[in-house]
Structure 1
Amino acid sequence: MSALFAISLATAAILAIVVLIAYFRLNPFIVLFTTSLALALAAGMPADKVVKSFEEGAGHVLGHVGTVIALGTMLGKMLAESGGADRIALTISSWAGRSRVDWAMMVIGLLIGLPVFFEVGFVLLIPLAFVLAARTDTPLLRVALPMGAALSVTHAMIPPHPATLLALSAYHANTGHTIFLGILIGTPIAIIAGPLYARFIAPRVPLTEENPLAEQFVNREPPKNMPGFGITVFTILSPVVLMLIASIADRVSAPGTSLNTALHFVGNTDIALVLAVILSFYVLGLARGFSRDTILKFTNECLGPTALIMLLVGAGGGFGRELVDSGVSKVITDTALDFNVPILVLGWLLAVIVRVACGSATVAMSTASSIAGPILLKSHGVSPELMVLVTGAGSVAFGPMNDAGFWQIKEYLGLTVPQTIKTWCVIETLIAFLGLGFCLMASMVI
């Protein structure tokens, strides 16, 4: 297979995904599935292996991330129903003061965004944005946009978010190092794309339309029996702490010892999250007066909306596996190495392309990392942790209209499509390009 044919085939597949999803409005899962099969057949892959390859790719990704998605969603649900999110928001905003409520919402977004998807975190926090904007007489965009920017940065760059865990696995990166670098690089990105840009753009985007959602949420009272601030933050951050402990286990204990094994076990992503969820059942559930039946109801009903997310994540993994098994990925890999395309830039570009194609940042990150992962194995001197971050940055680029987040921002904030492009799409693009720039600078010293 020639390099020109392989690149043309991959380009045609990605363009087909863009057109079928964005223009013809077809189901993204069906598009990813059929396009993956067509690509493999066109590459000369035997027909009896095409479907098996897709199933193995989808199964590998879902086997790793399905549990994480489910547990993160449950933790987010307990946070919402107990009033834990309200407690964090009200406490941090009271510390920050009226003039810095936008900075407070950025911090809240970074905290709440750790265990949940962007869409879940946004729905969780937007009522608080409406309330704080009304009670502090602050323009809504100055409050809501920093929150959205922080949620997006967390989604893309900081474990244990499911999207970053996919890339961690593909690049064989160290979880603790990735968390540290994600916070170090992600925080200034959230500041620039959040409070700083929001203060610039808010006066230039007047909200003229009536927003019935704002009236509904402004009149909403927080739960009376909210959990304490300390225990709520401890519950949210507990999986992160456990993963950090596991990342330094070999430094504080001898490999193979019982202590070392125990530290690695509790710091495993799935174990850390399930322990946090179990903890939340008590401190955010039973201790708040919820019955066991009510907690069961919460954990069951919150999983329904994740079905499509899981399908799309699996399809992204299947698409990446078809590229590998058909030989297309290897040809592109060898060509990229021959032309000395910087691996950080390549990982970022792949994520951007898939992001525009299917809209989902999680699918973009899983697909791009599955393609760039084999290339990284042949590269030397490139930090796997920076590859996770740069791929995540590219996965949120442009905030396209085929992304659910675009329409969430538009509808909740009462924006027009052009106003959403001026605000949200610019924020997502800032995150993507700042992430690339900061990672390239960091690569000079790491």
Structure 2
Amino acid sequence: MPLLIVAIGIILLLILITGFKLNTFVSLIIVSFIVSLALGMPLENVVASIEGGLGGTLGHIALIFGLGAMLGRLIADAGGAQRIAMTLINKFGEKRIQWAVVVASFIVGIALFFEVGLVLLIPIVFSIAKELRVSILHLGIPMAAALLATHSFLPPHPGPTVIAGEYGADIGLVLLYGIIVAIPTVIIAGPLYTKVAKKIVPDAFNKTGNIASLGEQKTFQLEETPAFGISVLTAMFPVLLMAISTIVDMIQKSIGFEGNTLLEIVRLIGNPSSAMLISLILAFYTMGIARNTPIKEVMDSCTSSIAAIGMMLLIIGGGGAFKQVLIDGGVGDYVAELFTGTSMSPIILAWLVAAILRLSLGSATVAAMSTAGLVIPMLAQYDVNLALVTLATGAGSSICSHVNDAGFWMIKEYFGLSMKETFSTWTILSTITSVAGLGFILLLDASLIISGAVIILISIVAIYFSMFDRSKDKRNALGDIKA
């Protein structure tokens, strides 16, 4: 019955969003009320559960999400993103233009959310394709693959950030593992899949596309933009701070030295919220003050970025409310009971649940949040790497983007594709990202286990020989005494 109620709730959510065109946030709150009542929750607990889920989720992510949006907008409005893209394209040259687009999109994608990165990079891709006389899809597929991978696997993007908070995973580890998973995934879903797509839908590579709906784009003379090095540093600065903190933590755990004030300072600076704030302050200087941009103009960019993500924050909060209802209503415990004693890996289960919800709901963020509500109670039964479960949920929530996903229509319209061509390019690309991502996560899990076993084995051998040497010393000492 609990799973049947959840299934009905998901169908109702789908009907409200796609059938009645109701706002996603409003739809999530309505369904949360209905599902909580259907699950038999005490009436006095219904509102508290919904408010607790919404507040708990936004309390964790709002600071990171908001500061991240400001940072990305400052880099875009100053021309830093354009400088990164154009410099890499010039350095790589015409023959390796796809790889230039991949690297540029990956760097820009870390700082900018998927939709913002898409809108920013598409005009650049169009102009480069026209200048080099190559297909826009030849560059567009690698660009989309890089943006989708960063969106699915790397904080401070909303999906991995929210899921890490819900699972209690270390965001720094999620970031490090996410980069390891994302790089080979992008290569497969981007440049390699482009060759296959040309054979599946060759006509799609003759389309000229249409970006008129994007309106007049802010353009820069390259000499007016910030330098390449400072643009990359500003975009990557939060990643560097979080990575340093995580590496220091890993070294401390492996070596076992005592904590001290310096370590506490490193942890504070590497905390995602602190890292985003420090990076934003750096961007105020590098993307604003250093370029003689009035501080009012810098603040206007920050304000506009928050206005753009306001509804997204509410949708994330609504997803948190639905997640909490599933937990408080006992659905998560029911799922945990179903899988008690099963040999299925929590990593695979998280990916599978997220994939099913993504296919049903369209929204990757909502799918990921709902997955957390079903999977969290089960995690207590397993000794599992929570960072990898976070990445698996992100991978599952990126699968098979189709007609109920806004990204599907953005790709279709901007590149001027038919429905069949969009399914054959973007939908398959998102599925490859999901499946390849899961594969690399499982490989990473196995390698971590093997590495851990090797370290333990070496430690045992070292201890054994150390004890052997000590016993030999004792025998020699006893012999000396007897003598």
What's the TM-score once normalised by structure 2's chain length? 0.86
Report the alpha carbon displacement of residue 184 of structure 1 after superposing the two structures with TM.
1.7
Query: Which amino acid in 1 is paired with 2:363?
Result: S
Report the alpha carbon displacement of residue 179 of structure 1 after superposing the two structures with TM.
2.3
Structure 1 position 199 matched with structure 2 position 201: no
Distance in 1 (CA, whole Å) between partners of 2:412 and 2:221 is: 25
Note if contact 2:135-2:207 (Cα within 8 Å) is conserved in structure 1. Answer: no
Give the 3 Å change call, closer, same or farther, for CA 362–214 of structure 1 in structure 2.
closer
Pairwise CA RMSD: 2.2
Q: Give per-residue Cα distances to partners, 1:357-376, cap 9 Å, x unaligned.
A: 33222222233234322312
Q: 1:360 aligns with which of 363, 384, 389?
A: 363
What's the TM-score once normalised by structure 1's chain length? 0.93
Report the alpha carbon displacement of residue 255 of structure 1 after superposing the two structures with TM.
5.3
Distance in 2 (CA, whole Å) between partners of 1:320 and 1:295 is: 37
Distance in 1 (CA, whole Å) between partners of 2:262 and 2:445 is: 34
Give the 3 Å change call, closer, same or farther, for CA 347–222 of structure 1 in structure 2.
farther
Report the alpha carbon displacement of residue 191 of structure 1 after superposing the two structures with TM.
0.7
Distance in 2 (CA, whole Å) between partners of 1:372 and 1:141 is: 38
Q: Give per-residue Cα distances to partners, 1:99-120, cap 9 Å, x unaligned.
A: 2211111111111111221011
**Counterpart mapping for 1:339-378 below 5 A:** 339-378=342-381
Note if contact 2:73-2:112 (Cα within 8 Å) is conserved in structure 1. Answer: no
Report the alpha carbon displacement of residue 338 of structure 1 after superposing the two structures with TM.
4.2
* Partner-residue secondary structure (3-state), 1:76: helix
Report the alpha carbon displacement of residue 88 of structure 1 after superposing the two structures with TM.
0.5
Structure 1 position 46 matched with structure 2 position 48: no
* Partner-residue secondary structure (3-state), 1:99: coil
Partner of 1:424: 426
Q: 1:302 aligns with which of 302, 305, 321?
A: 305
Partner of 2:246: 247
Structure 1 position 130 matched with structure 2 position 122: no
Partner of 1:396: 398
Partner of 1:410: 412
Q: Give per-residue Cα distances to partners, 1:82-141, cap 9 Å, x unaligned.
A: 110111001111121112211111111111111221011111211111111112222100
Distance in 2 (CA, whole Å) between partners of 1:249 and 1:80 is: 32
**Counterpart mapping for 1:31-430 below 5 A:** 31-202=27-198, 203-208=202-207, 211=210, 213=212, 221-222=220-221, 224-250=223-249, 251=251, 256-380=259-383, 382-430=384-432
Report the alpha carbon displacement of residue 416 of structure 1 after superposing the two structures with TM.
2.4
Distance in 2 (CA, whole Å) between partners of 1:297 and 1:61 is: 27
Give the 3 Å change call, closer, same or farther, for CA 272–218 of structure 1 in structure 2.
closer
Partner of 2:444: 442
Note if contact 2:74-2:283 (Cα within 8 Å) is conserved in structure 1. Answer: yes
* Partner-residue secondary structure (3-state), 2:447: coil
Note if contact 2:211-2:414 (Cα within 8 Å) is conserved in structure 1. Answer: no
Give the 3 Å change call, closer, same or farther, for CA 328–266 of structure 1 in structure 2.
same
Report the alpha carbon displacement of residue 424 of structure 1 after superposing the two structures with TM.
0.8
Instruction: Count the aligned residue pairs.
Output: 441
Note if contact 1:6-1:328 (Cα within 8 Å) is conserved in structure 2. Answer: yes
Note if contact 2:109-2:117 (Cα within 8 Å) is conserved in structure 1. Answer: yes
Distance in 2 (CA, whole Å) between partners of 1:66 and 1:218 is: 29
Please list every run of 5 or more consecutive structure 1 residues that lacks an aligned counterpart in the other structure.
Answer: none
Query: Which amino acid in 2 is paired with 1:213?
Result: A
Note if contact 1:246-1:263 (Cα within 8 Å) is conserved in structure 2. Answer: yes
More displaced 10-residue stretch of structure 1: 33-42 or 415-424? 415-424
Query: Which amino acid in 1 is paired with 2:365?
Result: T
Query: Which amino acid in 2 is paired with 1:241?
Result: L
Give the 3 Å change call, closer, same or farther, for CA 421–133 of structure 1 in structure 2.
same
Q: Give per-residue Cα distances to partners, 1:350-393, cap 9 Å, x unaligned.
A: 2123323332222222332343223122112x221211111111
Distance in 2 (CA, whole Å) between partners of 1:421 and 1:409 is: 10
Give the 3 Å change call, closer, same or farther, for CA 217–150 of structure 1 in structure 2.
farther
More displaced 10-residue stretch of structure 1: 207-216 or 22-31? 207-216
Query: Which amino acid in 1 is paired with 2:241?
Result: L
Distance in 2 (CA, whole Å) between partners of 1:106 and 1:300 is: 30
Partner of 1:30: 26
Query: Which amino acid in 2 is paired with 1:407?
Result: W
Note if contact 1:176-1:243 (Cα within 8 Å) is conserved in structure 2. Answer: yes
Note if contact 1:255-1:261 (Cα within 8 Å) is conserved in structure 2. Answer: no
Give the 3 Å change call, closer, same or farther, for CA 249–215 of structure 1 in structure 2.
closer
Distance in 2 (CA, whole Å) between partners of 1:126 and 1:199 is: 20
Q: Give per-residue Cα distances to partners, 1:26-55, cap 9 Å, x unaligned.
A: 221122111111111111101111111011
Note if contact 2:136-2:208 (Cα within 8 Å) is conserved in structure 1. Answer: no
Distance in 1 (CA, whole Å) between partners of 2:311 and 2:402 is: 18
Note if contact 1:167-1:388 (Cα within 8 Å) is conserved in structure 2. Answer: yes
Note if contact 2:241-2:269 (Cα within 8 Å) is conserved in structure 1. Answer: yes
Query: Which amino acid in 2 is paired with 1:102?
Result: Q
Query: Which amino acid in 2 is paired with 1:389?
Result: L
Distance in 2 (CA, whole Å) between partners of 1:116 and 1:55 is: 29
Note if contact 2:79-2:220 (Cα within 8 Å) is conserved in structure 1. Answer: no
Distance in 1 (CA, whole Å) between partners of 2:216 and 2:96 is: 21
Q: Give per-residue Cα distances to partners, 1:191-214, cap 9 Å, x unaligned.
A: 111111123324341444663539
Query: Which amino acid in 2 is paired with 1:279?
Result: L
